Amino acid sequence: MHRRPLPQTIVLFADLRSYGLALYLVFGVAAVIVAALVYAPIRRRRQRRALAERPFPRQWRRLLRDRWVLYRYLPSNVRFALQRQLQVMMSATDFYGCNGLQVTEEMKLLTLAQAALLYQNASQDQLADFPHVLLYPNAFVREGDTTDELGLVSRQRHVLLGESWQQGRVILSWSDIVQDLRRLDGHSLVIHEYAHQIDGYDGAMNGSPLLPNETVYRRWTKIMQAAYEDLCREAEWGQPDIDPYATSNPAEFFAVISE
């Protein structure tokens, strides 16, 4: 049966209607995505505030006092801020045991308590996620390519106590964490590697963490560069008070002085 074609105006109206529905759909999806992006930080901030305001568990306080020497010397206001931040980090940090290590709540608590010293004054708006923690029982071996002064590349094995990756991952040796908990000599593997994470929040691990504005950044750079150069000169003439490893580069300088 022969059908008469629809008038052109009707076809055009149908096309416009379909286009309008598609446009509404696109705008609707975009609105949902924007709303989710806007609400996510607000929701995260509320959740973290609720976690921080919970009563600090007695068994945690007892464990910190018994196992972490530095905790006993912290001023009460610092200890209070640390406890609030620690409750947030305990809830928001993923741990993975490596080489057969079974990660316990005690291991998490003693590790993150040290990291919380660095994070206790950080704005929760800046901290979308805390780094994942890969915990080894002891020092671990990492294979990688090394380039010498002549540009020759060789494959080498390195024995490491810790690493910090830009992708939000911290790798630590539990046996060395235990040693650090017992002493007050300015060495802390956890603080060192977490300092690298804080340094990298602006997109680069270069010794300059995320700062409020350009004026503060310029001042920070001027002061830190002068201190770094002073330490390098000291290291050339003898043994400085700060670990000479800090002279490796500005990023390591920031991590070592954080310890």
Q: Which two tokens stand for residue 257?
A: 């002085």
pLDDT tens, position by position, 29-44? 555 555 444 555 677 6
User: Distance between the two ends of the chain, CA-based, in angstroms?
Assistant: 88
Model pLDDT, residue 36: 46
Residue 149 has pLDDT above 70, yes or no: no
Mean pLDDT of 201-227: 90
pLDDT tens, position by position, 86-125? 999 999 999 999 999 999 999 999 999 999 998 876 654 4
- Mean pLDDT, the chain, as a whole number? 81
Residue keyed to tokens 């390098």:
232
Model pLDDT, residue 109: 97
Spell out the domain ranges in the chain: 1-53, 57-111+127-183
pLDDT tens, position by position, 89-99? 999 999 999 99
Q: Which two tokens stand for residue 50?
A: 């609720």
Model pLDDT, residue 1: 53
